[in-house]
Chain A
Amino acid sequence: MMTFFKLVLFDIYNGIVKRWRYVLLFFLVTLMTNVILYIKWQNLGVDIPEALSERLTFGDYILYPMAGIREYVPDSGMPIVVPALWLFIVLLTAYVTLHYADDDLHGFGVNTLVLSQKRIYWWLSKCCWLFCSILVYVAVMCVSSLLFVWISGGVISTQISQTMPQILELNPRELVDAPWDITGALCLFPLTVFAVCLIQTLLSLYIRPLLSFVVSAVILLMSAYAQNPWLIGNYAMTVRTDIFVEHTPVSVSAGLMIVPLICVAAVACGVFRINRMDIINREA
């Protein structure tokens, strides 16, 4: 068991601490989205001066990159609008976590795997590293938003302000009554992103990492198109959850049960695969 903890610590050091540039990247990207949200809010105030009477909260700033887009109705004749920021944030996470496990398996990881004498430790260590990575990236996003709230004179609260639905172009008739609280989504979003990245890492044991990235992107794009509980990207789109939407929403509590099950299934599939794959003669 001690070997396993050593492997996890090794992965956390090499996969998170040594790759601090990615952490910084998330900090800067979130800071930029915060600035953009602030500008959008100020611009909204030009048309609707009352919008400026309520200050933006921490919940607003952290919701903005996690929001996604409201449900698309096929056959409506309207073009599909893909949530560019949401897709960028989730695919950026998928990208920065994509090649660490694969690189490790083509380099030093083979030695650690042989020395630990248990293949399963290597895989479980990678799962732990992935979970910690997602937590660190989301924590950094929260810290960045908190910093901006403090600088811009916002409110440190997880409640969403009344102006956010207008900024996110939501239909007021579809919304549940205020107040809206983002705490549930703050748990579901990282969990769902972890599930997507875990599936991607698992697939990279079967196919080339580049193709596993394509699969992640397909899942996310299909999720933007169709609100279906099988398309797990929906759980990462906060504006589709029952926090906001009244009719046929994505249930946060269902998500908090389904997504961990998907993660467990992915971990189990990984254990099955790693025990049977030819590591030494694996194609680079």
Chain B
Amino acid sequence: MKLIKIEMRKALQGKPFLISLVIGVTIAVLGAVFAILQEYDIWHAWEKIINADGTMNSNPLLAVSSLFRVWLGGNVDSVYTMVFYYFLPLLAALPYSWSLRSELKSGFVKHMVLKCGRLRYYFAKFSAAFLTGAVTVFIPLVINYIIVACFVPARMPDPGDVIYHAVYRDFLFSKLFYTAPLLFDIVFMLLDALFAGVWASFVLSLAFFGLNKFVILIGSYICLLFHQYITRVIVAYRFFIELSPFDFLRAYQSGSPPNGLVVAATLLVIFGAGVVVTVVRGTHDDVF
């Protein structure tokens, strides 16, 4: 536990963590500001629709102008949502996933292994990478949610406005969205943070293959982009389930509907691969 604390301190006090967090928070704040401004425009337009006696000239789609559609994870047509979710794996890996590679290269790992033992040391590194990755993604999402909630009312989503929310019947936890939307959004924030943690620890484990920092961080990201293209080709002809993390992490349907089993299996496979590589290579590789 002490070792995890030390690693966490190293990770959270490092410049890369700060840079990642600043990038993430900047996207989240810009996303919130522009989304709120857009909603203000919509409310101004309502003045022409709603008469003084409360009657309406046409349907203003009141329930659509809601926190649950406007926040970063649920905003269908926001460029900031797109940028955030496309950078999510990079933001998660940037703070600490490179550290094991650096310590293997510098020889620092020899001291740590002698002092604490292999598995304890690698477990602490793995945990620190997981937690910092998760935190780097979770904080911007929460900040965005709070800012948007300060200005946009949390109107209950109406299933009749489904095309605006893009949360369709076969979407993951769709029932939750129309009954307890706050819980739905929290679940997606946690899912995003979980994926970020899993991805960060997986990228950390790639250090055992002797790859350099660029290949570890950017190469893995490029592979994820390739995976997205391939899954889109497969999905188009075989079955209509979202397979790419770039799409299934959002709280709306951007391609095919995500499936709970597929999401869980993806997380398990990535996490399992990271654990297996760390345990197998960590216990067998000669660090001296």
A221–B163 CB distance below 8 A? no
A-B contact list, 19 entries, CB within 8 Å: A40-B233, A43-B237, A74-B79, A77-B164, A80-B77, A80-B79, A82-B82, A84-B225, A84-B228, A88-B226, A88-B229, A91-B225, A210-B213, A210-B218, A214-B23, A217-B87, A221-B79, A221-B82, A221-B86
What is the size, in residues, of chain B's interface with A at 8 Å between Cβ atoms?
A: 35
Q: Mark B194-236, 1 if CB is under 8 A from A, else 0.
A: 0000000000000000001110011100100110110011000
What DSSP secondary structure best describes chain B's contact surface? Answer: helix
CB < 8 Å: which of A36, A40, A80, A214 contacts B254? A80
Q: Which residue of A lies closest to B233 (CB)?
A: A36
CB < 8 Å: which of A99, A218, A226 contacts B214? A99
Q: Does A115 contact B (CB under 8 A)?
A: no
Complex CA distance for A76 and B233, rounded to whole angstroms: 25
B90–A77 CB distance below 8 A? no
Q: Does B253 contact A (CB under 8 A)?
A: yes
B90–A75 CB distance below 8 A? no
Q: Does B88 contact A (CB under 8 A)?
A: no
A77–B77 CB distance below 8 A? yes
Complex CA distance for A69 and B138, rounded to whole angstroms: 31
A214–B87 CB distance below 8 A? yes
Interface residues of B (CB under 8 A from A): 19, 23, 38, 76-77, 79, 82-83, 86-87, 90, 94, 163-164, 166, 212-214, 217-219, 222, 225-226, 228-229, 232-233, 237, 244, 246, 252-255
Complex CA distance for A81 and B76, rounded to whole angstroms: 10
Closest 5 A-B residue pairs measured CB to CB?
A: A84-B229, A79-B254, A225-B79, A88-B225, A84-B228
A211–B77 CB distance below 8 A? no
B163–A77 CB distance below 8 A? yes
CB < 8 Å: which of A43, A77, A84, A210 contacts B94? A210
Q: Mark A217-255, 1 if CB is under 8 A from B, else 0.
A: 110011011100000000000000000000000000000
| Residues of chain B with a CB closer than 8 A to A217's CB | 86-87, 90
Complex CA distance for A214 and B82, rounded to whole angstroms: 14
Given A214-B87, A222-B79, A226-B79, 17 other A-B residues pairs in contact with their CB atoms under 8 A: A36-B233, A74-B77, A79-B166, A79-B254, A79-B255, A80-B76, A81-B254, A82-B86, A82-B246, A84-B244, A91-B225, A95-B222, A99-B212, A210-B94, A210-B213, A210-B217, A211-B19
Interface residues of A (CB under 8 A from B): 36, 40, 43, 74-82, 84-85, 87-88, 91-92, 95, 98-99, 209-211, 213-214, 217-218, 221-222, 224-226
| Residues of chain B with a CB closer than 8 A to A84's CB | 225, 228-229, 232, 244
Complex CA distance for A226 and B214, rounded to whole angstroms: 29
| Residues of chain B with a CB closer than 8 A to A88's CB | 222, 225-226, 228-229
Complex CA distance for A173 and B164, rounded to whole angstroms: 26
Task: Give chain B nearest CB distance to A96 CB in angstroms.
Answer: 9
A225–B82 CB distance below 8 A? yes
Task: Give chain B nearest CB distance to A64 CB in angstroms.
Answer: 11
B77–A78 CB distance below 8 A? yes
| Residues of chain A with a CB closer than 8 A to B229's CB | 84-85, 88
A213–B218 CB distance below 8 A? yes
A81–B255 CB distance below 8 A? yes
Task: Give chain B nearest CB distance to A18 CB in angstroms.
Answer: 16
Of B77, B86, B94, B253, most buried by chain A (CB within 10 Å of CB) is B77
| Residues of chain A with a CB closer than 8 A to B166's CB | 79
Q: Which residue of A lies closest to B93 (CB)?
A: A210
Task: Give chain B nearest CB distance to A280 CB in angstroms.
Answer: 21
Q: Which residue of A lies closest to B217 (CB)?
A: A210
Complex CA distance for A82 and B226, rounded to whole angstroms: 13
| Residues of chain B with a CB closer than 8 A to A213's CB | 218
Task: Give chain B nearest CB distance to A204 CB in angstroms.
Answer: 11
Complex CA distance for A85 and B253, rounded to whole angstroms: 20
B214–A98 CB distance below 8 A? yes
| Residues of chain B with a CB closer than 8 A to A91's CB | 222, 225
| Residues of chain B with a CB closer than 8 A to A95's CB | 214, 218-219, 222
Complex CA distance for A75 and B166, rounded to whole angstroms: 14
